[in-house]
Amino acid sequence: MLTRRTLALAVMASTALPAHAKAPAARKPLVIAHRGASGERPEHTLMAYRLAIAEGCDFIEPDLVPTKDGHLVVRHEPEIGGTTDVASRPEFAARKTRKVIDGETLEGWFTEDFTLQELKTLRARERLPQLRPGNVKYDGLEPIPTFQEVVDLARAESRRTGRTIGTYPEMKHPTYFASIGLPLEGRLHAALKANGLDSAAAPVFVQCFEVGALKALRQLSRAPLIQLVPADGGPADDPTLTYRAMTTPQGLKQVAAYADGIGPEWRMILPTGPDGALTGATTLVADAHAAGLKAHPWTVRAENAFLPPALRRGDAPAAHGDVGAVYRALYAAGVDGLFSDFPGLAVAARDHI
């Protein structure tokens, strides 16, 4: 007759892995190419996305804004004077205007005042030429891509490389665009559905700084949603909320009612001390996980201009500092992924954890 202890040992032996077998490896954090490999090519161009994929990223990020005729195109902001050659195009000189978006007055040229056909005649250029002079040689080579073109690229590169390349679109200023008759949620949902990305298991995350747009999209789609949370301010669509309150344990529980994760500024996870050095991780990642949320911080950049003083190398703002220290500390903090303008550096750091 088997004793209780003998039976327990037998069960343990029957369920133990064979000596040659290995336990499943822990899933490594995602590397999300912020606007593509935007530290090395003009942002939001297909060449920037292709380079990011070649460097090993898992997701490529397109920011979405609409055209006058309702197409979703990929630009960081609706104002395109700083990222295209529109200012040098005399046929569009009269389109220059001034608008108030989310309380900020902006002057320039805006995607919602152009048809897709018109926008396709423009060419992209580097947004930060002083910090990224090497990117300037690529100015004028590529047009503004549509969201569909980015999805098509991710799909084609997934087939070519044999690994899944996901897309990570951001809805930009949805309240503003709804106010001018160009709401984003329905258009994005239609695109997700048409491309087989309208499910919880699809290789996609949809992000937004606003709350209402994510809640509205949740009613339409099961695609994973990410609430963006900078360190300061609050959502443009809800003056009663602050991002700081949203990232408390109680606030995170409320976010979890409609979203699958948060996208905080990386400094909310890794603050710096008076000496400009990293001081150690906050509890934000652990708090997010406790609420059932993923944590995908943004945006790690290599240039001194974007790094804490103790991690800078030399005095030149464009020179690269010790960005590896930021990657390593974020990975050690348990993030589920991170955004970087230099996905190749993020992948290299991840490969050593």
Both tokens of residue 101? 């978006």
Closest to 152 measured CA to CA, from 202, 206, 195, 212: 195
Give the per-residue pLDDT at 23.
40
* 34 given a catalytic annotation: yes
Give the per-residue pLDDT at 26.
63
| Options 34, 71, 296, 320, the catalytic residue | 34
Residue 293: CA atoms inside 13 Å, Cβ hemisphere, count?
A: 31
Give the per-residue pLDDT at 13.
36
Q: Can you spell out the DSSP letters for 130-182?
A: TT-GGGGGGTTS--PPBHHHHHHHHHHHHHHHSS--EE--EE-SHHHHHHTT-
Q: What is the pLDDT along the chain (353 residues), one digit of tens a residue?
A: 333 333 333 333 333 333 333 444 468 999 999 999 999 999 999 999 999 999 999 999 999 999 999 999 999 999 999 999 999 999 999 999 999 999 999 999 999 999 999 999 999 999 999 999 999 999 999 999 999 999 999 999 999 999 999 999 999 999 999 999 999 999 999 999 999 999 999 999 999 999 999 999 999 999 999 999 999 999 999 999 999 999 999 999 999 999 999 999 999 999 999 999 999 999 999 999 999 999 999 999 999 999 999 999 999 999 999 999 999 999 999 999 999 999 999 999 999 98
Q: What SS3 state is found at 220?
A: helix
CATH code: domain 26-350 is: 3.20.20.190
Residue 98: CA atoms inside 13 Å, Cβ hemisphere, count?
A: 3
* Dist. CA 220–CA 206, nearest whole Å: 13
Taking only the tens place, the pLDDT of each residue in 134-190 is 999 999 999 999 999 999 999 999 999 999 999 999 999 999 999 999 999 999 999
Taking only the tens place, the pLDDT of each residue in 257-291 is 999 999 999 999 999 999 999 999 999 999 999 99
* Dist. CA 207–CA 263, nearest whole Å: 8
Query: What is the domain partition of the chain in residue ranges?
Result: 26-350
* 71 given a catalytic annotation: no
Give the per-residue pLDDT at 63.
98
| Options 44, 71, 76, 173, the catalytic residue | 76
Give the per-residue pLDDT at 229.
98
Q: Quote the pTM value.
A: 0.92
Residue with tokens 């992000």: 207
Give the per-residue pLDDT at 8.
37
Give the per-residue pLDDT at 27.
82
